[in-house]
Amino acid sequence: MHNNFSGGARGLDVDKAASELTPAQTRVDILAESLPYLQKFRGKTIVVKYGGAAMKSQDLQASVINDLVLLSCVGIRPVFVHGGGPEINQWLDRIGLKPNFLNGLRVTDASTMEIVTMVLVGKVNKHLVSLINKAGATAVGLSGMDGRLLTARPSQRAAELGFVGEVALVDPTILRPLVDNNHIPVIASVAADEKGQSYNINADTVAGELAAALGAEKLILLTDVAGILEDKDDPGSLVKEINIAGVKKMIGEGKIAGGMIPKVNCCIRSLAQGVRTASIIDGRVQHSLLLEILTDEGAGTMITG
């Protein structure tokens, strides 16, 4: 495991010949290095949105689950939010319904919504709960409907998109005893409106609104990109840290575009509501969650208020 931390081993004496350090010593050194981060985040809530490559690859999935369990073991309080696009498409395909997208957003009619709920709440959610339990923590699976955690409203584009919703209200009452008892809530991004109609809600949005309602220390969105790039065609131009004003400037200059805009806006909204920092990190990197939380190096872009 120590190799995955190597980017963050800031205080190791580089003059020491590597051969002098046994793997065990290196591991212990790096553990000692993470102490200030563990102290900083202990007892704090961190909301993690899980999706993309980290969800599709079994190795990356195992890495994220292990990171989550480790963070929970050292007294950090993770809340895990997920979507499940590819799996929804597979099931729609099985029953002969063709997925339909409009500018990257899923058009959701009544029969698609039924499948979305079944797949996200019944299958993906319980699969993740079972993986976390197997890895040694205690997870509890919920959807936005449970305990009125989320109340949905139709999207402004409901006429075109069908049952695609937005978050009208968050009531985190049901999460507090779970988090206080060291359970990891795993939340599917489906919710109902006041009339009981179900809606599919973007998981980034759900994570951002939950982070705000919980007064989270940190919001982390796992994505399929390195983070925010100064030049979108140059993976080496990663912006490690930026504030809201800087982000708005980059949007104005067209440097942040396409699918990154809603992610960034979701971060800005949660920061404006009191979340301390929001990070867009590379879920394709093993242990990116630990890199982001326990090292200076990080694993993507951190946005501050």
SS (H, E, C) 34-79: CHHHHHHHCCCEEEEEECCHHHHCHHHHHHHHHHHHHHHHCCCEEE
In the predicted structure, residue 40 carries a pLDDT above the cut 80: yes
Q: What is the mean pLDDT of the chain?
A: 90
* pLDDT (0 to 100) of residue 178: 97
Q: Where are the alpha helices (DSSP H) in 215-301?
A: 244-252, 260-272, 288-294
Q: How far is Cα 56 from Cα 66, in angstroms, rounded to an integer? A: 16
Span 244-270, pLDDT tens digits: 999 999 999 999 988 889 899 999 999
CA distance 281 to 227: 5
pLDDT tens digit sequence for 42-77: 999 999 999 888 888 899 999 999 999 999 999 999
Per-residue burial over 228-254, b if 16 or more Cβ lie within 10 Å, else e, is bbeeeeeeeebbeebebeebeebbeee
Residue 271 contacts residue 305 (beta carbons within 8 Å): yes
Read off the pLDDT of residues 78-102 as tens digits, 9 standing for 90 and up.
999 999 888 898 999 999 988 888 8
Are 156 and 40 a contacting pair, CB within 8 Å? no
> What does the alpha-carbon distance between residue 138 and residue 131 come to, in Å, rounded to a whole number?
10
Strand pairing category for 150-154 and 139-143: unpaired
Which is it for the CA torsion 191, 86, 221, 55, positive or negative?
Answer: positive
At residue 170, the pLDDT reads 98
The residue written with tokens 């590379």 in the block is 282
Per-residue pLDDT band for 1 (boundaries 50, 70, 90) equals very low
Is residue 282 within 8 Å of residue 219, measured between CB atoms? Answer: no
DSSP string, 98-132: PP-EETTEE-B-HHHHHHHHIIIIIIIHHHHHHHH
What mean pLDDT do residues 113-132 have?
96
The stretch 192-215 carries a mean pLDDT of: 96
What H or E segment, with its residue span, contains residue 188?
strand 184-188
Q: What is the pTM of this model?
A: 0.89
Per-residue pLDDT at 11 exceeds 50: no
**The two structure tokens encoding residue 159:** 């006429």
